[in-house]
Structures are given as C-alpha cells and as structure tokens.
Amino acid sequence: MVIEMNQETATLGKETPDEPVIGRIKGKTMIECNDVSFSYDNGKTNTLDHISLDIPEKQVTAFIGPSGCGKSTFLRCFNRMNDLIDSARITSGSINIMGQDIHAPEVDVIELRKQVGMVFQKYNPFPKSIYENVSYGPRIQGVRDKKELDAIVERSLKGAALWDEVKDRLNSSAFGLSGGQQQRLCIARAIAVQPHVILMDEPCSALDPIATAKVEELIMELREKYTIVIVTHSMQQASRISDNTAFFYLGKLIEYDTTKTLFSTPSQKQTEDYISGRFG
Ligand SMILES: Nc1ncnc2c1ncn2[C@@H]1O[C@H](COP(=O)(O)OP(=O)(O)OP(=O)(O)O)[C@@H](O)[C@H]1O
C-alpha cells in the first residue's frame, strides 16, 4: 500500500448539490470518504447512503446516532472488516486512507488491517498470557528477537497505560485482568503493530465508570500519535473526548463538525433533536 499524505486540509462534510455544508476544520486528512454507499445484501438495499466526510489525522472523531443508523458498519468499512460477510459490499464511492484507495486491487487487506487497527465493544484478549497477547501481532509480522519483542511489549503496555499494573505478571493469563485492564490490553495489542489509525467500536460500553474514565484518559493521550475513530452511544463521552463528531441517522450522515460546534450550535434540526434527547 502506498503511504503518502496528500492533503493539507480536511473538509468535514463535502459540499455536494444534494448535501448542505456541514462543517470544516483544518488538519491533514487521514481517511477520505467520497460518496460511500454500502449494502449487506448484494446491493438490494443500502445500509449507508452516499456518505462523504474526511477524518483528520491525530484527532479523535466520534460517530453518534440512534441504534441501527450504520455507525459500526461505516467504521468497519475503514479496515474492510465487512469483507468477511459474503453479500456485503460498497455500492458507490471510495475510501482513501493516506491517499490510497483501500479497495484498489493492489491493496493487501492484512497490511491495511495492520495500519488500521480495531478495538471492539467486548474486550477480546486471546486465551494467552499478557505478554503473548501484545507480542502476537509483531511475531506474526516476523519479529523473532526476544529483546526486540520485550521492548515492543513494554512500549505498547506503557502506551496503553497498563505497564505499571502488569509488569510483574506478564506471563499470567490475560483473563486474570479486570475488564478495564483487558480492554487496555486490547488497545496495547492494537498499538503493538504501530497502526496509523485505531477504530474503536463502543470501547467502554462493557466497562464500569472508573474503567471507562481510564480508557477515556488513554484515548486522549493516544490522540498525540494516532488517528482515532470511535463509535459511542454516549453523547457525554463524545463531548468529553472527541475533537469532531459525525451524527448519522438511517444510514445518512446528517451533520459533521467540530464536537464543540455540533453540541453547542448544531445546524440540523435532527441533530438538535437527537443531542437534546428528543429521539434515539
Ligand atoms: N452482518 C450484518 N448483516 C446484515 N445486516 C447487518 C449486519 N450488521 C448490521 N446490519 C444492519 O445494518 C444496519 C446498521 O447496523 P450498525 O450495527 O452499523 O448500526 P449502529 O448504528 O452501529 O447500531 P448500534 O448503535 O445499535 O450498534 C442495521 O439495520 C443492522 O441490522
């Protein structure tokens, strides 16, 4: 995959004749989506409907909207996770990451998923030790040197704010950790392969408030190095941790702007109704 940044400015919400202007911020674009439609049933119905938005690098971008509006589906398009479903496909448009069309024939999907990592709602460590969970990705990429692996494990666990809590039990089972620690371990596993983007699909929904606060703090730290896209049901969470927010409804992008603007002065009535709790 060709890795080359090609834009100076990220536009939030593309200006097309059918769509209102829905926001603009400065920053280099990491993920550029042009007119993306997506179907789970070979094109009979579209779950995502002509979505255009650009996600800036090294910022946190939140996807919000009522259940079933397509947030997770859209997120999974970015590392082609939906390819695993036979009848699912993009029916229009394109997605470029760092200037590369991710559906181009030359793109290696394994390489794409290395660069666009994912953290799921239900933390899912492997049934292995803490050390093996973090070293797994680098090992399958060919890193064999024990010292190098040790350094990656330490760096990744530190990056996920977990090192101090686990450094004395690296060879113990990951399942012995608390839920919040297991989720941070999954984040350490994602960053061990040095991705550019981390996709997070409701990463705190299975966590208690204290573990949620730790993961939120971590997300804000990770923003310095990674582009983060997070699906969340919590508008408080979106407003606490994200720089930009996209609001979806019935497969359409309704509004996309800086989080501050979207929550304080939304331009669309549907957004206002949703964030004020009138539906959803
Ligand atoms: N694997 C699948 N096969 C077929 N349809 C699916 C599949 N996954 C999701 N859908 C459908 O696509 C639509 C969008 O689902 P999606 O999970 O993307 O929404 P969401 O906004 O993330 O919802 P939630 O907030 O409840 O997680 C829904 O109608 C859902 O039923």
Per residue in 42-63, pLDDT (tens digit) is 999 999 999 999 999 999 999 9
Q: Is 58 left (phi over 0), alpha (psi -120 to 50) or beta?
A: left
CA of 124 to the centre of ligand 1 (A): 20
Q: Which atom of ligand 1 is nearest to the CA of 65?
A: 21
Q: Which atom of ligand 1 is nearest to the CA of 73?
A: 18
CA of 70 to the centre of ligand 1 (A): 6
The distance in angstroms from the start CA to the end CA of the chain is 39
C-alpha distances in Å from residue 69, one per residue of 44, 162, 232, 241, 275: 17, 34, 12, 22, 15
Position 123 scores a pLDDT of: 87
CB 48 within 8 A of CB 230: no
Residue 278 pLDDT grade (very low, low, confident, very high; cuts 50, 70, 90): confident
Closest C-alpha to 135, from 119, 124, 123, 146 = 146
Q: Is the ipTM of this complex over 0.90?
A: yes
Q: Residues with beta carbon inside 6 Å of ligand 1?
A: 40, 47, 65, 67-73, 85, 231, 233
Task: Give the pLDDT mean for 223-246.
Answer: 95
CA of 220 to the centre of ligand 1 (A): 27
The 10s digit of each residue's pLDDT in 166-220 is 999 999 999 999 999 999 999 999 999 999 999 999 999 888 899 899 899 999 9
Task: Give the pLDDT mean for 69-89.
Answer: 95
C-alpha distances in Å from residue 52, one per residue of 15, 130, 242: 9, 40, 19
What percentage of the chain reaches a pLDDT higher than 70?
Answer: 90
d(CA 237, CA 68): 19
- Listing from the earlier edge strand, what are the strands of the sheet with 116-119? 116-119, 197-201, 227-231, 60-64, 244-249, 252-258
Closest C-alpha to 228, from 196, 276, 275, 274 = 196
